[in-house]
A and B are shown apart, each in its own frame.
Chain A
């Protein structure tokens, strides 16, 4: 069993677009958006019915010229576990979503 990164990538991209595509960065709404993005991505991933544990993280940043760097490092079973990162942006904000999937060994 290996992690299908492409499938996860499509799921995440759809979730982000549904929530952010027509919006401009708004301090009041961002909390709501990041929570909705991670919850929806998680729900769709779980619906795939595979025996995986998932961790989904999302960062939304206002575009203002600041630099942002993210890194991640994982200590796991490289044959069964996997990750997928989706970067998205519009005129006023950047969004980075990471999905980490760890196989459940029964």
Chain B
């Protein structure tokens, strides 16, 4: 009975994840202009930082993070995702960010183990 009342959440909390993503994006790319030589490093930093903050939450989840950074030059970009999972426990969260020279789209998917 004690274990059931421990209060550990096993559902995906969108707001919490959204804040973690925003912090990671801000620390990795805010203040920078699109630079071909650095973008690889930025996308990697964003996904790795977000993933390590999410795992620090200590919840028994499997996580998938994706990050897209695109230079602004008038081109159109569309993203879609479709998931086959348990909609009562699994969840996702997408954060869109932009500055004068680039767009950044980060998606997080969480599935409890």
Within the complex, what minimum Cβ distance (angstroms) separates A81 from chain B?
Answer: 7
Q: Indicate if the CB atoms of A66 and B67 lie closer than 8 Å.
A: no
Q: Which of A31-89 contact B (CB under 8 A)?
A: 31, 33-35, 37-39, 41-42, 45-46, 53-77, 81
Query: Which residue of chain B has the shortest Cβ distance to A83 in the bound complex?
Result: B64
Q: Indicate if the CB atoms of B65 and A73 lie closer than 8 Å.
A: yes
Q: Indicate if the CB atoms of B71 and A66 lie closer than 8 Å.
A: yes
Q: How many residues of A contact B (CB 8 A)?
A: 44
Q: Say yes or no: is A30 at the interface (Cβ < 8 Å to chain B).
A: yes
Within the complex, what minimum Cβ distance (angstroms) separates A17 from chain B?
Answer: 17
Q: Say yes or no: is B107 at the interface (Cβ < 8 Å to chain A).
A: yes
Kindly supply a per-residue 1/0 record for chain B positions 19-60, scoring 1 wherever the CB is within 8 Å of any chain A CB and 0 otherwise. 000000000000000101001101110111011001100000
Known: A37-B80, A58-B79, A58-B81. A73 touches B113 (CB 8 A): no
A4 to B95, CA, bound (A): 30
Q: Indicate if the CB atoms of B81 and A30 lie closer than 8 Å.
A: no
Contacts of B78 in A (CB 8 A): 30-31, 33-34, 59-61
Contacts of B90 in A (CB 8 A): 53
Contacts of A68 in B (CB 8 A): 68-71, 77
Contacts of A53 in B (CB 8 A): 83-86, 90, 111
Contacts of B71 in A (CB 8 A): 66-68
Most A CB contacts (10 A, CB to CB) among B36, B92, B109 go to B109
A39 to B55, CA, bound (A): 30
Known: A58-B79, A72-B47. A67 touches B70 (CB 8 A): yes
- Known pairs A57-B79, A66-B70; list 5 more (Cβ under 8 Å): A34-B79, A55-B84, A58-B80, A61-B78, A73-B64
Where the two chains meet, the residues of B that have a C-beta atom closer than 8 Å to any C-beta of A are 34, 36, 39-40, 42-44, 46-48, 50-51, 54-55, 61-86, 90, 92, 107, 109, 111, 113
A-B contacts, 21 listed (Cβ < 8 Å): A25-B76, A30-B78, A38-B80, A41-B82, A45-B84, A54-B85, A56-B81, A64-B75, A69-B40, A70-B43, A70-B69, A72-B64, A73-B50, A73-B51, A74-B51, A75-B55, A75-B62, A76-B64, A77-B62, A102-B85, A102-B111
